[in-house]
Structure 1
Amino acid sequence: MAEEFDVEATLAKLTMPQKIKMLAGLGWWHTQPVPEAGVPSVRMSDGPNGVRGTRWFNGVQSSCFPASTGLGASFDIELARQVGGALADECRAKSTHVLLAPTVNTQRSPLGGRAFESFSEDPHLNGTLAAAYINGLQSKGVAATIKHFVANDQESQRWDICTGDVSERALREIYLKPFQIAIKKANPWALMTCYNRVNGVHVSENPWLINDILRKEWGFKGMIMSDWIGVYSTTESIKAGVDLEMPGPTVMRGKAVERALTGEKLLPSDIDERVSKILQLVERAKASGISFDGPEEGVDTPELRALLRRAASDAIVLLKNDKALLPLSGPLTKIAVIGPNAKQSFTSGGGSARLLETYTVSPYEGIAAAARSAGTEITYTVGATSHKFLPLLNGFMHYEGGRGALVEFWNTEPAEGWTTSLKGGTAPAWSTPTMSSECFLVDGIDNDKVNLTCWIRYSTKYTPDESGDYEFSINFTGIGNLFVNGELVVDLFHDPPHGEGFFGLATADVHAVVKGLKAGVPVDVEVRLTNAPFVASGAPFEARGSIRLGAVRVVGGEEAIESAVKLAKEADVAVVVVGLNHEWESEGFDRPDMSLPGYMDTLVSAVLHANPRTVVVNQSGSPVEMPWIDEAETAVQVRSSLFWLGNGLADVLFGKVNPSGKLALTFPKRLEDNPSYPSYGPKGEGPGKILYNEGIYVGYRGYDKKSIAPLFPFGFGLSYTTFAYSSLETSRVSPEGGFTVSFTIANTGNVDGRESAQVYISNPGASLPCAVQELKGFAKVALRAGESKKVSLELDREALSYFDERKKTWVAEKGTFNVLVGASSRDVRLTGEVKLEKMFHWSGL
């Protein structure tokens, strides 16, 4: 039964030292408790496409939903709500009160490392789906944390980058707008600030953004926390309105707050204001009935599996089907499945979105299961590689105790020279098995037995599935060596080069070739290291570091492609699965270009030439170049972070599900066409400053303004059926700006399907330059073959407004507005108009 909790009474009981203690977190995932005042420790977990729990290392398995770009492609508000509800169930199973999600940063560029975490380049779609996700999550008592407030849309120099000279109009209409919509429609209980500056001031200490706009203008009542290590001041961040510094232990608060109070740079009322917001979150956590310091468990029910499968298929966009190859049907003797993304299950982008999946279904597994049930033979070859780092050893490892590897820890060097040789030594202080050859050692270790500075041995037996020469790779935090079959193969003990792993704190990834391995014959693999240099370096957070170990059979590019061509020629149909993975799309860095890595484009072209009956499947959370697209008759886009990608993809390819996804991002023909191109990433005015010189013309707005034809437009997606639009009607606009848009959609084909109809508004008579059109409404409509339905959408003043920087207010001008209804931003089927009789303006929500 939920406990009652009196915020004001509890605040009155707290001493000032207790209040100051509460202003920063307890470790990575908890708030500080004050047991003597009845204040428990609230638990958090990373999202947004799953609930990892409190451990990076050896964590509890979790369901992995489509990345937010996948949910964005669904254009399905109800699906977003259901996903939020399912994530709440996972949170409750893991005794988690706060999910650090959703992410609603505007996808300004295809190169953004975390682009996959946000729903769309369009603020209306972004904010509307986020609101549904939040409502689903919070309906079950779990707090949502909308993030990262605001203009956090690149990873390059993310700690100190300044979004320089971003106009207030662009900030309001593009970057703040998704937050504004979600707060208005869903009231998230928490918000996370970003790392970056906006116009010279770090957001975590920006009173105009946090206090004036967020708190006062929008009336946001929730708790505000920093991003992890995202507080750079004491007095300024507290005065601005950041309630909680994360993670703990504190760096910018604690004793510094005491000193600021002594000098009256801060007043007790400032501290009370911040602590009261934290206590309000505690109150919600108590009301949820979720246990404090409870167990972490997973969820696996038939209902959840059905939702995961539906979400996976709904995130798929059919880009081309020129000769109706899809859905696959008829007598098919052999299907060749080709490509580096076919057999591996890339279920998540990199960084804080990653988690340990309960189970996965690769594209190959899903296609093979569907094909074999129809008596069709399946063949496979990789064709080309897609990895930035070598594939992990996962699934091919065992040690004396079972599957996986053994990780052992010592508090002192076990023997002199132990790290650089295979000498024996003293017994370890603590050990644990692991199923992965990638270990983020920030948690999951017995702190009572293992010191922060330690010596580590990772040992396993690796069993190759093919004979040949194998390339091994290793990076870690600290100094040490890699041994294979007792031989030193990588020396990272003596002056190791610096790399980008483990948030840029690890060594470079160093490779070595081990010759003559035999299929099915295990080899001994051992890593010995100490993290002492890492700890001594003054890392920004406490951790024992990281280990990442990979291996792959050495295959020449030409040999692999020749094998793929041979299989494609022998098959009735080829399915080539290419794309990106968490090594290319990740927190911590941006992509260098839009190209598919390695020889993937060459592979696709070669397979298409060998067999025109080829389905090209691209898996990425953001746009990629497709130089082969004109050759391809059939192409499908799937999003990263698809837990059941294989089943969802097979459902679409074999016609069990009619695809209904639409692109939530414009796919440009080339990077230079993207509106942000001149000033994204390391470009701009110079180090540390980026100019937002495209202004409000982000995404499709920029392509429309310059009449640039994209590769695939925003909102685009095909179906196995066809839809006709008719009977557009618009109501009279109310004095407050509200009106209704109604139209009829008919399924004119022979297959049941779903259509995502989109309503755009154009303001040709605006006093200021405006976008050619802007998405202001959408609806997902299910129609049986031959069925028609009337669709009605309620639009409000937001559809008719722009932000006037001169008046510091939103303005809806008197005049005639065009109403455009269609299947995408470049496929308008119906046009009409509405008239606003009298101008008005407003601020706030």
Structure 2
Amino acid sequence: MGAQELDIEYLIKELTLPEKISLLAGKDFWHTFPIERLNIPSIRVSDGPNGIRGTKFFNSVPSNCFPCGTGLAATFNKDLWVEAGELMGKEAKMKGAHVILGPTSNIVRSPLGGRAFESYSEDPLLSGHAASNIIKGIQNENVVACLKHFVCNDQEDDRRGVDTLLTDRALREIYLKPFQIALRDSEPGALMTSYNKIRGIHVSESKELMQDILRDEYKYEGTTMSDWLGTNSTKAALDAGVNLEMPGPARFRTQLQVTHEIQSKRIHAQTIDDNVRGVLKLINRALKAGIPDDVVESANEDPASSELLRKVGDESIVLLKNEGNILPLSKTSVAGQEKIAVIGPNVKAAQDSGGGSASLTARYKVTPWEGIKKKIEEGGNTVSLEYSLGAFLDKNMPDVGDILENDKGEKGVTAKFYKTAPGTKDRQQFAERFLPTTKLCLFDFKDPELAPGEVLFYADFEGYFTPEETADYEFGASVMGTAQVFVDGKLVVDNKTKQTKGDAFFLAMGTREERGTVHLEKGKKYHVKCEFGTAPTYTLDPTQEIGGAFFGFRIDSPQETELTKAIELAKSVDKVILVVGLSKEWESEGFDRSDMDIPGATNQLIEEVLKVNKNVVIVNQSGSPVTMPWAEKVPALVHAWYGGNELGNTIADVLFGDVNPSGKLSMSFPKKLEDTPSYLNYGSINGQVWYGEDIFVGYRYYEKVKQDVLFPFGFGLSYTTFDFKDLSVAADDENVTVSVKVTNTGSVDGSETVQVYIEQSNPSVIRPVKELKEFGKVFLKAGETKSVEVKISIKEATSYWNGYFSKWESTKDTYKVLVGNSSDNIIVEGEFATSKTFYWLGL
């Protein structure tokens, strides 16, 4: 792609009306429409909140996976966010992507939110700073960041049409604030609208949000685009200023529709030109990346990328409990061989990310078992490790792409493609692929043998499995299309002749998982085949396109058997590491969680293990809070999020003390769901959701009503101790400057986060007890002291949204400065006074 900048005003004059209309919608799923006559190129976008997938769902080029959004935010490290963004930008160029569809900066309003893991925090300031610094990093590489989802896309339930009802004050102080901060500090080149309505109007059609606030008040000059299939009209969305409808081909911006709207004078020609300008601006910014037209997507295998992913993961992990200093563990044993049991459903599973558009094919994954085992090997194997599953976590059968083999012994599944159904005489194969997974989305499968628009075909996915244990094995398959699973030619799973609606695939378009059991013998080689027919064969909804199949298997062991094995193992060892939590099957785009509990028998497993061994370390992996009824009983607890490629190494780094944990919770962990502020007002009820907690989200609520939580916002322990002293607060009419000396009073080098909260002394309206207004992270060697200084504008430090004046108000008053290392541990206090009351708008 040439780097010559487009002359936008010249092009506006030269473009024909059909050409202008074509620019207002995507060409396909990932590209804008080119106008070759005028040398206007097509540019590419890619999903990317925690890694850059590229243009393929099917057989995608592997990517580096970052820790999930809530984990990234838990680092509280602005410089590290910039570095992460820069790596995202570099990898986008390797995938030929000019625009990254991220970061996601919605609010973790409830632990139940399906995409909570993908956002950053319950706190708008932390969310805004995380987004703005990641955007800076991305755009340092001349790749465009697309900030999303503007605004209030805080649940998955009925997300395409739910009407979000909330006060102006909540909208401004909580939900718009992260976007306001990111727009102010990093000027993202693009912004994506949310699916939902706000007060009866879809965001993509809201002139109040898209024009009055975004364009006029925030002075945003970048490009706006819809979420995928997120436009619901022709005229209203264009009038509101949604420049680009995605994906293509156009649905509401076809030549016929738009031309008719213009000819009938329902849409002004100037409106078309304004939206075309927005698209051309995006193309101009994209040209700066210098991505060649013929780029071939490639994976980033630079060891430096793995080092950064590990660093981010290390800093994201939060130490929540460490009674008796059971952590860090030792890699070596001097008095006889120490025995450690590693137990739990996430031990040998790589929970790299949550589900949905944030998920991708990771270039590699390190499981907790692999990371812990490597640490023990570094210590000379004087500590012995043993493993037990203990409890099941999978909602459906696990991916067995790393278990099946082809006839050459290579790990993976062979896919053979046909135009005729299984059993057809003289069936001819037209394509073949070798794939690393049995979670197969064929939404974007292409082959030269398929004519344009040809979506009916068949595939056999097959491989060989050699059991390590004689037992019954349970097989399962869910599908968007039809599927049958055979073992050595015997039908084991039938999801073809009788299908039941389920939640497989995006937006629950597929079937439930059908299952069957077969007895297999240890050491015998079995042929496993899944016969798949594309979506036109789907008995529930044949109008869907192409579709896909998920299939897998596992040993059919009763839960009681696995629990008993784990308990017996726990009795026989010195220490137990329990690796538990959730997975992308339970936290994902497309649906919300129904409760906060860890599914299955995990809680029972933990309780029983604690009865037989007191030296227990629990590592929880989830993108948002889970219920922990055993929290008071366990001596050591680590929260590890979804950790990306390096998750196993980062968990081991912290457990064995190679890294001193410094992560801080990016959200409060309540004791139970009923304690949460949105408990009575979450989810769509007859197409509406009421944000009844108003501005009191997260710690703002818990502190106001004096509700105890399990672990507070901003909380995280260390293997050393810190002291804050000599607080200095200096204020003028523009800024307040806060400085504090931080000393590492322990014996281990480590990092601490200085959190600055502000409280108004005499508010005339109901305000939170205090609000996070700035933070700074500092690394200190043992015994070292450093000063941490932050500067906050007076208007940001003091203002609330005055709904009567429809402006921000900074009230003349005295304000307390509360400095600590979590929301509930304020160590030093100061104050400042403002000299006047004033009102303001904008950034």
* TM-score where L is the length of structure 2: 0.96
Quick one: which of 566, 572, 575 aligns to 1:573? 575
Q: CA deviation at 1:240?
A: 0.3
Report if the CA contact (8 A) 1:41-1:293 is conserved.
no
Quick one: which of 666, 670, 673 aligns to 1:671? 673
What CA distance in whole angstroms lies between the structure 2 residues aligned with 1:679 and 1:462? 48
Q: CA deviation at 1:428?
A: 2.4
Deviations 1:725-758 (A, max 9, x none): 1111110231x3x110111111000000000110
Q: Secondary structure at 2:244's aligned position in 1?
A: coil
Letter in 1 for 2:823: S
Report if the CA contact (8 A) 1:663-1:717 is conserved.
yes
Letter in 1 for 2:360: L
The residue that corresponds to 1:118 in the other structure is 119
Quick one: which of 580, 593, 596 aligns to 1:594? 596
Matches within 5 A, 1:267-416: 267-329=268-330, 331=333, 333-374=338-379, 375=381, 376-400=383-407, 402-411=410-419, 413-414=420-421
What CA distance in whole angstroms lies between the structure 2 residues aligned with 1:51 and 1:129? 18
Report if the CA contact (8 A) 2:534-2:546 is conserved.
no
What CA distance in whole angstroms lies between the structure 2 residues aligned with 1:484 and 1:535? 24
Q: Over the residues paired in the alignment, what is the CA RMSD in angstroms?
A: 1.5
Matches within 5 A, 1:5-44: 5-44=6-45
Q: CA deviation at 1:456?
A: 2.9
What CA distance in whole angstroms lies between the structure 2 residues aligned with 1:522 and 1:491? 19
What CA distance in whole angstroms lies between the structure 2 residues aligned with 1:786 and 1:839? 44
Q: Secondary structure at 1:323's aligned position in 2?
A: helix
Q: Secondary structure at 1:25's aligned position in 2?
A: coil
Letter in 2 for 1:212: D
**Correspondence 1:715 to 2:714:** yes
**Correspondence 1:63 to 2:64:** yes
What CA distance in whole angstroms lies between the structure 1 residues aligned with 2:786 and 2:201? 51
The residue that corresponds to 1:730 in the other structure is 729
Q: CA deviation at 1:222?
A: 0.8
Report if the CA contact (8 A) 2:487-2:526 is conserved.
no
Quick one: which of 797, 800, 807 aligns to 1:809? 807
What CA distance in whole angstroms lies between the structure 2 residues aligned with 1:754 and 1:637? 17
Deviations 1:565-588 (A, max 9, x none): 222222222111000000000000
What CA distance in whole angstroms lies between the structure 2 residues aligned with 1:484 and 1:335? 37
Structure 1 residues 501-510 or 792-801, which shifts more?
Answer: 501-510
Letter in 1 for 2:493: V
Deviations 1:162-195 (A, max 9, x none): 112x001000000000000000000000000011
Letter in 2 for 1:430: A
Report if the CA contact (8 A) 2:401-2:413 is conserved.
no
Q: Which runs of 5 or more structure 2 residues have no equivalent in the other structure?
A: none
Matches within 5 A, 1:196-215: 196-215=196-215
What CA distance in whole angstroms lies between the structure 2 residues aligned with 1:745 and 1:617? 29
Deviations 1:740-787 (A, max 9, x none): 011111100000000011000011311111011000010101001001
What CA distance in whole angstroms lies between the structure 1 residues aligned with 2:834 and 2:88? 42
What CA distance in whole angstroms lies between the structure 2 residues aligned with 1:519 and 1:146? 52
Cα distance change of structure 1 residues 671 and 383 upon mapping to structure 2, 3 Å threshold: same
What CA distance in whole angstroms lies between the structure 2 residues aligned with 1:199 and 1:245? 22
What CA distance in whole angstroms lies between the structure 2 residues aligned with 1:599 and 1:535? 35
Q: CA deviation at 1:535?
A: 10
**Correspondence 1:680 to 2:682:** yes
Report if the CA contact (8 A) 1:819-1:832 is conserved.
yes
What CA distance in whole angstroms lies between the structure 1 residues aligned with 2:716 and 2:176? 28
Matches within 5 A, 1:742-753: 742-753=739-750
Cα distance change of structure 1 residues 286 and 530 upon mapping to structure 2, 3 Å threshold: closer
Deviations 1:643-697 (A, max 9, x none): 2011111111111100000000100000011100001124xxx321011100000
Q: CA deviation at 1:424?
A: 5.2
Matches within 5 A, 1:255-274: 255-274=256-275
What CA distance in whole angstroms lies between the structure 2 residues aligned with 1:262 and 1:447? 41
Q: CA deviation at 1:511?
A: 1.1
Q: CA deviation at 1:795?
A: 0.6
Cα distance change of structure 1 residues 460 and 839 upon mapping to structure 2, 3 Å threshold: same
Letter in 2 for 1:622: S
What CA distance in whole angstroms lies between the structure 2 residues aligned with 1:544 and 1:606? 46
Report if the CA contact (8 A) 1:601-1:628 is conserved.
yes
Q: Secondary structure at 1:221's aligned position in 2?
A: coil
Letter in 1 for 2:418: W
The residue that corresponds to 2:775 in the other structure is 778
Letter in 1 for 2:436: M
**Correspondence 1:795 to 2:803:** no
Matches within 5 A, 1:173-572: 173-254=173-254, 255-329=256-330, 331=333, 333-374=338-379, 375=381, 376-400=383-407, 402-411=410-419, 413-414=420-421, 418=422, 425-446=426-447, 449=450, 451-503=454-506, 504-519=508-523, 521-534=525-538, 537=541, 543-572=545-574
What CA distance in whole angstroms lies between the structure 1 residues aligned with 2:147 and 2:449? 35
Letter in 2 for 1:769: I
Cα distance change of structure 1 residues 423 and 574 upon mapping to structure 2, 3 Å threshold: farther
Deviations 1:687-724 (A, max 9, x none): 21011100000011010111001000000000000000
Report if the CA contact (8 A) 2:401-2:411 is conserved.
no
Q: CA deviation at 1:536?
A: 9.8
What CA distance in whole angstroms lies between the structure 2 residues aligned with 1:483 and 1:814? 75
Q: Secondary structure at 1:288's aligned position in 2?
A: coil
What CA distance in whole angstroms lies between the structure 2 residues aligned with 1:595 and 1:405? 34
Q: CA deviation at 1:405?
A: 1.9
Q: Secondary structure at 1:469's aligned position in 2?
A: strand
The residue that corresponds to 2:751 in the other structure is 754
Letter in 1 for 2:343: I
Letter in 2 for 1:173: E
What CA distance in whole angstroms lies between the structure 1 residues aligned with 2:497 and 2:652? 49
Deviations 1:4-58 (A, max 9, x none): 3222222222111011111111111111111111011101110111000000110
What CA distance in whole angstroms lies between the structure 2 residues aligned with 1:277 and 1:536? 41
Cα distance change of structure 1 residues 447 and 475 upon mapping to structure 2, 3 Å threshold: farther
**Correspondence 1:618 to 2:625:** no
Report if the CA contact (8 A) 2:207-2:240 is conserved.
yes
Q: Secondary structure at 2:731's aligned position in 1?
A: coil
Structure 1 residues 316-325 or 551-560, which shifts more?
Answer: 551-560
Report if the CA contact (8 A) 1:348-1:582 is conserved.
yes
The residue that corresponds to 2:833 in the other structure is 835
Cα distance change of structure 1 residues 6 and 785 upon mapping to structure 2, 3 Å threshold: same
The residue that corresponds to 1:699 in the other structure is 698
Query: What's the % identity of the aligned pairs?
Result: 43
Letter in 2 for 1:513: T
* TM-score where L is the length of structure 1: 0.96
What CA distance in whole angstroms lies between the structure 2 residues aligned with 1:632 and 1:68? 27
Q: CA deviation at 1:537?
A: 4.0
Deviations 1:82-137 (A, max 9, x none): 00000111011111100000000000000000000111100000001110000000
Cα distance change of structure 1 residues 832 and 458 upon mapping to structure 2, 3 Å threshold: same
Letter in 2 for 1:505: M
Report if the CA contact (8 A) 1:59-1:444 is conserved.
no
Report if the CA contact (8 A) 1:46-1:53 is conserved.
yes
**Correspondence 1:76 to 2:77:** yes
Deviations 1:138-167 (A, max 9, x none): 011000000001000000111111112x00
Number of aligned residues: 830
Letter in 2 for 1:118: S
What CA distance in whole angstroms lies between the structure 1 residues aligned with 2:541 and 2:644? 37
What CA distance in whole angstroms lies between the structure 1 residues aligned with 2:761 and 2:563? 52
